[in-house]
Amino acid sequence: MAQNIYDNEGFFAQYSKLPRSVEGLSAAPEWPALRAMLPDLHGKRIIDLGCGFGRFCRWARENGAAEVRGIDVSEKMLERAESETRDSHITYVRTDMEHLELPAASFDVAYSSLAFHYLEDFGRLAKTVHQALTAGGQLVFSIEHPLYTAPSEPKFVTDAAGRAIWPLDGYLDQGPRRTDWLAKGVIKHHRTVATYFNSLANAGFTISHLDEWGPTPEHIAAHPDWADDHQRPPFLLMSARR
Amino acid sequence: MAQNIYDNEGFFAQYSKLPRSVEGLSAAPEWPALRAMLPDLHGKRIIDLGCGFGRFCRWARENGAAEVRGIDVSEKMLERAESETRDSHITYVRTDMEHLELPAASFDVAYSSLAFHYLEDFGRLAKTVHQALTAGGQLVFSIEHPLYTAPSEPKFVTDAAGRAIWPLDGYLDQGPRRTDWLAKGVIKHHRTVATYFNSLANAGFTISHLDEWGPTPEHIAAHPDWADDHQRPPFLLMSARR
């Protein structure tokens, strides 16, 4: 069983207070960049890997999707997703993504927002998703950027000149990182950009677009605490085609 | 005219003393990773973009290439390349890669080692190379890794705990960086991984493999000064297909 931090009471309470939890997709600064990678969803069958409160599932239906399946490992997240959804074309399934199995050629679009860095075995997932997509089907996802997950201690350090420096002290050391984000001891799995890329390519995907989300000057003016994200972008976005 | 630092006397003298200049390809630690991305060269027409002393050009012919063209902006590099080459199937042409023009479908493989980070306009070059390749033709290249070219001052800083930290203070600030590598004021152009990737994709390439070269424990045991490269890999390698 994979880590299920979202069913930790304290984590869930904190997570529920994040702007993106309260206000939805529009409060996620990277959402416009991720949305821009999506194909037209009209008539498509969609799977959302790590659907959380089901916000993207409902957005997909509002934007023409025929059927949407949301999967998540967290019972609490899915309870809330169910309670906020009145749509028989959206189904939620509790599944541990680490052991996910999907029927062949059953979806046109696979989507995932900020979930894959919790997975230990991304190569297995890439293969599972690839065979579950129809020919020409697309996988669009975001992850915490490897520059963000690399450090052994992920917090800025100050150099002799007083500059805040992101401590990139183990980019090539792939493996688990223990962080204290919203709760103590959350485990994320650091992988390099090349490992994400080659896992997809080995599964049979053609990777079509990359984005390293960072704030624009307008973003920074509105949210000065995002200025640091210009130093190491927090999110990596990828689009790949079967 | 692009910067032509290799014709600077001091730079050239220093460059000529580097292990890879004295001993050739085998002294470049990333060479086995780059070589592994190359297709079988038998009967192929090859172009080497930034050929320097012509070492790869000669290696390509020894490995079956039919015709090899080496281009470089540096007169001194090409003089030395010519003096070390006795092979009518290798031709050297002095060209500024920033304004390169190539006939359509005239090469099967394009190769470049550690040259593209000197270019201001990588998008133009990607298009030029794409149309110059035959269908199914391949571009294989290495660059200084964007993690390496990002900092405004590219040297390790020491944090309060005495750790050496790579100062990743402007990953998303793309543009020129002035460095003092072998000579004062060498200009390199920092681009993100996504910019390299998307420039190739926009030119029509399908990117098939990425590598972020870093030393193995055996490398580090043999060259302890390479241990830092585990923190930020010095080279990014890419393979793309027309």
Asked whether the beta carbons of residue B172 and residue A214 sit closer than 8 angstroms, the reply is yes
On chain B, the residues whose CB falls within 8 A of the CB of A166 are 168-169
In this complex, which of B158, B168, B210 lies closest to A231 when CB atoms are compared?
Answer: B168
Task: Work out the average pLDDT over A218-231.
Answer: 84
Q: How far off is chain B from A62, nearest CA to CA, in Å?
A: 30
**Chain B contact present for A105, CB below 8 A:** no
Span B52-81, average pLDDT: 96
The answer, for B170 touching chain A at a CB cutoff of 8 Å, is yes
- Chain A residue nearest residue B207, CA to CA: A207
Q: Do A193 and B198 touch (CB under 8 A)?
A: no
Domain locations in chain B as residue ranges: 31-241
pLDDT over 90 percentage in chain B = 68
Is the pLDDT at A2 greater than 70, yes or no? no
Any B CB within 8 A of A174 CB:
no
- Best of A152, A155, A157 to substitute, by most chain B Cβ atoms within 10 angstroms, is A157
A36: CB partners within 8 A, 6+ apart: none
pLDDT of residue B2: 67
Find the residue in B nearest to A199 (Cα). B209
Could you tell me the pLDDT band of residue A1, with boundaries at 50, 70 and 90?
low
Q: Show residues of chain B in contact with A190, CB under 8 Å.
A: none
Judge whether A18 is closer than 8 Å to chain B, CB to CB.
Answer: no
pLDDT band for position A130 (cuts 50, 70, 90): very high
Token pair for residue B149?
A: 């070219």
The ipTM (two decimal places) reads: 0.93
Give the model confidence (pLDDT) of B183-213 as tens digits. 777 899 999 999 999 999 999 999 999 999 9
0.90 exceeded by the pTM?
yes
Question: How many contacts (CB atoms, under 8 Å) link A and B?
Answer: 103
CATH number at B31-241: 3.40.50.150
Tens of pLDDT, residues A23-57:
888 888 899 999 999 999 999 999 999 999 999 99
Smallest Cα distance from B215 to chain A, Å: 9
Nearest chain B residue to A166 by CA distance is: B168
**Can you give chain A as a three-state secondary structure string?**
CCCCHHHCHHHHHHHCCCHHHHHCHHHCCCHHHHHHHCCCCCCCEEEEECCCCCHHHHHHHHCCCCEEEEEECCHHHHHHHHHCCCCCCEEEEECCHHHCCCCCCCEEEEEEECCHHHCCCHHHHHHHHHHHEEEEEEEEEEEECHHHHCCCCCCCEECCCCCEECECCCCCCCEEEEECCCCCCEEEEECCHHHHHHHHHHHCCEEEEEEEECCCHHHHHHCHHHHHHHCCCCEEEEEEEC
Residues 21-80 of B with CB under 8 A from A: none
CB contact under 8 A, A194 and B211: yes
Q: Does A206 touch chain B (CB under 8 A)?
A: yes
